[in-house]
A and B are shown apart, each in its own frame.
Chain A
Amino acid sequence: MWPFLRDGDWVDVSLFSEKKEKTKVGNVYLFMDSEKEWIVHRKIDSSSFSGDWSCCVEKKNEVEVFGEISSFYLNDKKKKIKNGKLDYLMTFFSKKITKKGNSVFFSRGMIFILGSIKRFL
């Protein structure tokens, strides 16, 4: 999820009580990998998750979503993650990255700008 969320960040998770709880495109979710590692990814499609910077895609059927990430901590200050216009732009560009075309460099640059704006402002 670099540059928006970085290694060692603390996050608040509102855990789902059911397996089939509804997920929204643009929100950030926590789930467990097949190798039993906790992963935080954004929902980019109705059927797939991906990190903002990475090209890999996790299919919805293969993973089990445990909860939604509601906020994160920056310098001991709590910051809420809202699903606003910036998130729609970020999902748009991270979706472009997963398609691996010529637009990868441009969209990574855009995500660096948007992610750092969302993190620090």
Chain B
Amino acid sequence: MKDVESLMFESLFSENYFSDLDFFQNNKKQLNYYLKIHQVEYLWSTLSYTVDEEFESIRSLSRMKWAKQTALKLVVEELFLISEIDFEWIKGIQLAEEVYPDPLIRPMGDLDLLVSKKHWFKAIDVLVRTGFSRSETQWKNRLRLELSHPHWGLIDLHGELYPGHRGSFRMNYPISGLEDRLLYLFIHSCHQHALEKVIWINDFYYFLLKYQNQIDFDKFFLKVKENKLISSVYFVLSILKEQKGFIPSEEFENKIDKEVSFFKRNLLNFFKKDFFWMNSKFSGKIKRFFVRVILRDSIYDFFSYLINREKIKFLSFFYRVP
């Protein structure tokens, strides 16, 4: 394994870095395996993990991926500046640069962009002309495209931010205020993806650590109640309290355990203890099912796992489910 790393290092600092892609792709499995460990391990490293040689080697690999993504970022920024397109980086790369103490800590698969609706077609036009092409996607959202380049990597283009299940919540360019940004983090990671990656808890930690004095929490919780995300917010806050001993403001100290109902609280306590164990054991549908069912607030969402969404529409006609 050391030979692979040394070769990767050489290719990183040589001029022909981007031409050595065959080598990169051949060792993709090993690289992904290391990065996966890196995602889980870092959370523990803040508590008890001592920095040693093994950790340093993982770090070097993530540095390589980071170099590739920053190159892509620079290319896209230049392209959009020349063609006068309004855009904003969101999610991973924005947090890594702005909030994290070291951007290498935050690994990511692709770069997310929020483009203004006016320039939606123009952005696609510019990227396609430079060699990006559409990849097959699972989602059927008209204002979202995944574009890939054989050398530069992946880009996720968003014209509008909203999760598929919750139609009322929408965000357009530009995102105004820290409250909205935090709300979108919760909706994306807890509601949409059920905290599939442990690294997302670090997102909340560093975001709240930096902006805890600037965020208006009353305003934020009003929005949380509107979008029915209370249990997922308190779930994350309680994990932060247990693992890091961190509470964003003193008001929540008593609330964290009280706000959620008795039934949910017991379930949450059960999952909090085994959450990290579950992440290492089940990476598939089972974990997703359990965590999602707890994090959701309404029963309507719960049934959507037992019955298809299309059938629900049919059933609601007879049973008059709202």
User: A residues near B, CB below 8 A?
Assistant: 13-20, 32, 36, 38, 64, 66
CB within 8 Å: A-B pair count: 27
Q: B120 to nearest A CB, angstroms?
A: 8
Q: A32-B128, A36-B129 are in contact. Are A17 and B139 (CB under 8 A)?
A: yes
Q: B141 to nearest A CB, angstroms?
A: 6
Q: A32-B128, A36-B129 are in contact. Are A17 and B140 (CB under 8 A)?
A: yes
B136 touches A19 (CB 8 A): yes
Residue B210 is within 8 A (CB to CB) of chain A in the complex: no
Q: A32-B128, A36-B129 are in contact. Are A14 and B137 (CB under 8 A)?
A: no
| Cα separation A38 to B139 with both chains bound (whole Å) | 25
Return chain B residues, CB-CB under 8 Å to A17: 137, 139-142, 144-145
12 contacts between A and B (CB under 8 A): A15-B120, A15-B121, A16-B142, A17-B137, A17-B140, A17-B144, A18-B136, A18-B137, A19-B136, A32-B128, A38-B125, A64-B134
Contact of B140 among A13, A14, A18, A38 (CB under 8 A): A18
Q: A14 to nearest B CB, angstroms?
A: 6
Residue B31 is within 8 A (CB to CB) of chain A in the complex: no
- For this complex, into which size category does the number of interface residues on chain B fall? 10 to 19
- Extra contacts, 20 of them, besides A14-B142, A15-B142, A32-B128 (Cβ < 8 A), are A13-B121, A15-B120, A15-B121, A15-B124, A15-B145, A16-B142, A17-B137, A17-B139, A17-B140, A17-B141, A17-B142, A17-B145, A18-B137, A18-B140, A19-B134, A19-B136, A20-B136, A36-B128, A36-B129, A64-B134
| Cα separation A32 to B144 with both chains bound (whole Å) | 19
| Cα separation A58 to B319 with both chains bound (whole Å) | 50
Per-residue interface assignment for chain B, residues 135 to 176, with 1 indicating a CB less than 8 Å from any chain A CB and 0 otherwise = 011011110110000000000000000000000000000000
Q: A69 to nearest B CB, angstroms?
A: 12
User: B residues near A, CB below 8 A?
Assistant: 120-121, 124-125, 128-129, 134, 136-137, 139-142, 144-145
Tell me if B's interface is mostly helix, strand, loop or mixed: mixed
Return chain A residues, CB-CB under 8 Å to B136: 18-20
| Cα separation A16 to B146 with both chains bound (whole Å) | 12
Return chain A residues, CB-CB under 8 Å to B120: 15
- Report the nearest B residue to A30, measured CB to CB: B121
| Cα separation A19 to B148 with both chains bound (whole Å) | 13
| Cα separation A66 to B125 with both chains bound (whole Å) | 11
Return chain A residues, CB-CB under 8 Å to B121: 13, 15
Return chain A residues, CB-CB under 8 Å to B139: 17
Return chain B residues, CB-CB under 8 Å to A38: 125
Return chain B residues, CB-CB under 8 Å to A13: 121
- Report the nearest A residue to B130, measured CB to CB: A36
Return chain B residues, CB-CB under 8 Å to A64: 134
Return chain B residues, CB-CB under 8 Å to A18: 136-137, 140
Q: A3 to nearest B CB, angstroms?
A: 25
Return chain A residues, CB-CB under 8 Å to B137: 17-18
Return chain A residues, CB-CB under 8 Å to B145: 15, 17
Q: A91 to nearest B CB, angstroms?
A: 26
| Cα separation A13 to B136 with both chains bound (whole Å) | 20
Q: A17, A18, A19 — which one has the most chain B CB atoms within 10 A of its CB?
A: A17
- Report the nearest B residue to A38, measured CB to CB: B125
- Report the nearest A residue to B138, measured CB to CB: A18
| Cα separation A15 to B120 with both chains bound (whole Å) | 10
Return chain A residues, CB-CB under 8 Å to B128: 32, 36
